[in-house]
């Protein structure tokens, strides 16, 4: 997928985008039939899994999602991070395009968007503006520019109609899933879907992203590990975000570097995730690998794309910490309590499903037992968890309508695990969690002492 994407007008309207979804389904079905016929003609028994997961389907899905952009492409980005583990390794170079490059919009659409945001004389503020985007993602594309005062900027311009298509995209995805029979009837996704729509609409509001970007920049201002671009407020509105341009290479490029660098950078990202969850309680919940760049000269990680930020409740943070402690102790009863509090275990689940989830968590807890670091790829931990979890795939009672905050935290943690696995990093999971577990125990003891004091205090009449 090294060819430069062609500029394509962003499709808008529920019916047109529904037709695009139908095109994806038709293309996949056609490829399955073609591959099955090929297997029959060569004397082989057709395999549904092989034909469904062949590279032609990966190519069809990727091309169409890159064309659609918006919420539909967000779904594809999540799929792309799993390639090589839950999906065939052959999909990785194909689906990676969804992390890095969508089809850019035509120049006419771009100019209309800039004029709407800045006026027809917008170009007078710049000494340079590249109409060729340096990145084209799911909600907008980014252009490099230089102001007349010399500041180098990255200008993110939202695709026309993307905000308006969010509801229909999500409804279309759910409709297709329900038609496939993959979603049990007892699962009510109404609340989660409403929150998902609201979250994506926040991501499509660049004024909101600018607020989060400034907040993260303030929180990490003293960090020697991370860089966060500044916002140019006077050039930013709901559809255009102007920010500092910072050089860097895609984080996945460090796979060619030494093991020490890989381990160090993946450790920094994992610690940042813990800091977000347990201290800041503000998480950038989109783990798309394209959101992280590396500067070899400064040895810093550049953080990008703050549209998917989410404030994490004290309850959710505390229960994840309880779950981490339970996993480190390999205490299944404590795991069960934390999972139930997070809504990841529910009354609608069968005993077999609950036992399988706990067994998968026990398998995952192996990474928290080592004092010398743990290599996910060498230990094949993700594949082992998948094998343990396989019985749940056919049990529809396993589906749960979890709290949206929990779903986003899971997405971020999973994304960081998949990145570390992809790069073959050895991480000290136990050491990284230790200060937060200690902090949690100190707070817990303090609360117990305060409760005991209040119970002993004499009542005033």
> What is the chain's length?
461
| Contact between residue 335 and residue 370 where contact means Cβ atoms under 8 Å apart | no
Backbone phi, then psi, for 137, in 5-degree steps? -110, -155
CA atoms within 13 A on the CB side of 405: 18
Q: Residue 457 corresponds to which tokens in the numbers above? A: 């205090």
Active site residue 233: no
Residue indicated by tokens 């998917």: 308
Rounded to 5, what percent of the chain is helix, strand, coil?
60, 10, 30
Q: Is 209 exposed, middle or buried (0-12, 13-18, 19+ CB in 10 A)?
A: buried
Q: Is 224 exposed, middle or buried (0-12, 13-18, 19+ CB in 10 A)?
A: exposed
| Contact between residue 278 and residue 436 where contact means Cβ atoms under 8 Å apart | yes
Active-site residue identified among 82, 171, 253, 286 = 286
Distance CA 300, CA 198 (A): 33
**Helix, strand, or coil (residue 157):** strand
| Contact between residue 211 and residue 311 where contact means Cβ atoms under 8 Å apart | no
The catalytic site residues sit at 286
């Amino acid at each position: 997928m090294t060819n430069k994407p062609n500029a394509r007008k962003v499709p808008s309207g529920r019916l047109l985008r529904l037709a695009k979804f139908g095109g994806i389904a038709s293309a996949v079905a056609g490829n399955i039939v073609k591959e099955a016929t090929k297997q029959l003609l060569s004397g082989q028994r057709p395999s549904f899994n092989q034909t469904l997961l062949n590279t032609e389907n990966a190519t069809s899905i990727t091309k169409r999602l890159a064309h659609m952009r918006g919420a539909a492409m967000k779904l594809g980005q999540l799929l792309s991070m799993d390639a090589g583990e839950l999906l065939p390794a052959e999909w990785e170079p194909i689906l990676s395009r969804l992390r890095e490059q969508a089809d850019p919009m035509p120049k006419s659409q771009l100019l209309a968007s800039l004029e709407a945001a800045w006026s027809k004389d917008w170009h007078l503020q710049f000494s340079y503006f590249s109409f060729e985007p340096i990145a084209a993602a799911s909600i907008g594309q980014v252009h490099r520019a230089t102001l007349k005062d010399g500041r180098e900027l990255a200008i993110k311009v939202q695709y026309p109609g993307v905000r308006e298509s969010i509801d229909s995209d999500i409804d279309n995805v759910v409709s297709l899933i329900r038609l496939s029979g993959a979603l049990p009837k007892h699962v009510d996704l109404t609340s989660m879907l409403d929150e998902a729509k609201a979250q994506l609409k926040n991501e499509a509001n660049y004024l909101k992203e600018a607020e989060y970007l400034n907040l993260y920049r303030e929180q990490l201002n003293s960090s020697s590990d991370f860089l966060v671009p500044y916002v140019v407020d006077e050039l930013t509105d709901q559809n255009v975000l102007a920010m500092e341009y910072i050089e860097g290479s895609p984080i996945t490029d460090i796979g060619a570097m030494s093991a020490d660098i890989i381990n160090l950078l993946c450790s920094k990202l994992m610690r940042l995730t813990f800091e977000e969850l347990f201290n800041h309680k503000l998480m950038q919940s989109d783990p798309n690998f394209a959101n992280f760049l590396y500067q070899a000269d400064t040895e810093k990680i550049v953080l990008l794309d703050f549209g998917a930020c989410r404030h994490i409740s004290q309850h959710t943070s505390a229960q994840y910490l309880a779950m981490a402690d339970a996993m480190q102790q390999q205490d299944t009863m404590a795991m069960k309590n934390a999972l139930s509090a997070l809504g990841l275990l529910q009354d609608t689940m069968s005993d077999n499903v609950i036992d399988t989830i706990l067994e998968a968590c026990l398998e995952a807890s192996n990474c928290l037992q080592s004092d010398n670091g743990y290599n996910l790829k060498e230990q094949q931990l993700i594949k082992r968890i998948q094998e343990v979890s396989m019985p749940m795939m056919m049990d529809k009672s396993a589906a749960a309508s979890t709290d949206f905050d929990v779903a986003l935290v899971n997405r971020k943690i999973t994304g960081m695990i998949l990145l570390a696995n992809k790069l073959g990093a050895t991480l000290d999971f136990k050491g990284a969690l230790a200060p937060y577990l200690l902090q949690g125990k100190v707070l817990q003891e303090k609360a117990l002492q305060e409760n005991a004091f209040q119970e002993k205090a004499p009542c005033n009449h």
